[in-house]
Amino acid sequence: MVSAVLWCGVQCKKIFGHCVLVAISQLVFAQTTTSTTVYFRQQSGGSIFAIDGRDGSQTELEGSSEYARFVGMAIHRRGRRIFWSEGRSINSANAADGSDSTVVIGALARVVWVGTNFGQTQADILSLTVKGTLCESIISWSTDRVECLVGLPQRFSQEQTPFISEDDCIIKTTHGSMRGYALNYDEMGASGTPAPIVERIDIDANSVLPHALAIDDREGKDWIYWSNSADGTIYRTSLRSSAIEVLQRRCWSVRGLTLNIPMDSTTDTLSLFFSLESKGTISEIKLPPSNMSITSPPSAQVVISGLRSPRGLAIDSAKHVLFLTEKTGRIFLAQIGDVMTSRQKANALPDDASIIAPKAYVRRIVTRPSMTRLDGVAVDSK
């Protein structure tokens, strides 16, 4: 098995015989049994292109007149869809031709219903709906207060005031439902109705600034992992429902995400690696089985530190090899789980002396001029 690595920045790089001379901000692979397709984003024009490995033909999948400096891309191979962040939202389209373009997440909303008759247990809540989207991630529940978090498939707009109104919010229990809130709350409460009665609704809706993306596209999983520069949080959002979970908070400069998905189909545990450009670190989050909800952010362990502006990440899960780029023009290979020998440490380049990796063997494999400003990296494992 051979791992071929492609990276992107401001450079001319041969890809299937083509010299791509553009500012590329992200790069991903989609592999089939017969060919490999490379998807890349042209930073200056905002377009997404696909290069077919069979004949080198190039197709523009999605065009945009906006300048997208920070952008992530990921492929859902089983669903044959491409996902990308363009500064204000996460979008998806058919990976073959860019058709059926949709907004996956364009805003985040935290909604609190306050009132009475919200059930004897949380199971009595049949549904919560916000702006037409089911709010399935209930953060807290009591008989008189329910709070949920939801990612909305509409781009946040400050011109639309309010972006979410009380009438956009519906609570439904086993005894009935209510849209908005009750103007005659006290009278309804005195009537003895078992249906939910809402006294007020607190709504906190915000725009998103998504950057790095990663997808678990295994059968029955279908999660998209993404970093939000607006609130410094790493989320994972279900592509099968509206469930959303917080993985890390106070992470303000996440530039790369990659999933270490086990090759053993009987194993349901995986790890998420992320880069923090401002801190010069690569960290790992060990995730629970996919059938378990994450109610509080799991701990993250720093596996590599002392880097200079780390950005793109990619992993060869079969070999447990992590590839990472730096803005400075350097690309490193990290053998996860290995420990550097004294000889390997002695042979390390002087410029890499600041790198600390107690549980990984890290070595530089590419050096480009600092003006290259590397960003994304992808691995083609064959």
Identify the pLDDT of residue 11. Answer: 44
- Nearest 10 degrees: Cα torsion 136, 138, 141, 145: -80
What pLDDT sits at residue 131? 98
Q: What is the model's pLDDT at position 56? A: 76
In this prediction the pTM is 0.88
Residue with tokens 């901000």: 25
Q: What is the pLDDT of residue 31?
A: 61
Distances (CA, A) of 95 to 41, 136, 211, 233: 13, 28, 19, 28
**Confidence (pLDDT) at 44:** 63
What is the DSSP secondary-structure string of 122-151? Answer: GGGEEEEEETTEE--EEEEEETTEEEEEEE
Q: Which residues pair with 129 in a beta bridge?
A: 134, 170
CATH of 107-206, one of 3.40.50, 1.20.1260, 2.40.50, 2.60.40: 2.60.40
Q: Please give the structure tokens belonging to residue 339.
A: 């420990």
pLDDT of residue 256: 94
Q: Is 148 exposed, middle or buried (0-12, 13-18, 19+ CB in 10 A)?
A: buried
Name every residue whose Cβ is closer than 8 Å to that of residue 208 and which is 6 or more positions away in sequence.
Answer: 88, 89, 90, 105, 106, 107, 108, 151, 156, 228, 230
Per-residue pLDDT at 207: 96
In the chain, which stretches have pLDDT less than 70?
Answer: 1-35, 42-46, 62-70, 265-266, 290, 372, 381-382
Largest CA-CA distance found in the chain, in angstroms, rounded: 81
Instruction: List the domain boundaries for the chain.
Output: 3-105+208-381, 107-206
The β-bridge partners of 213 are 226
| 3-105+208-381 carries CATH number 2.120.10.30 | yes
d(CA 50, CA 37): 6
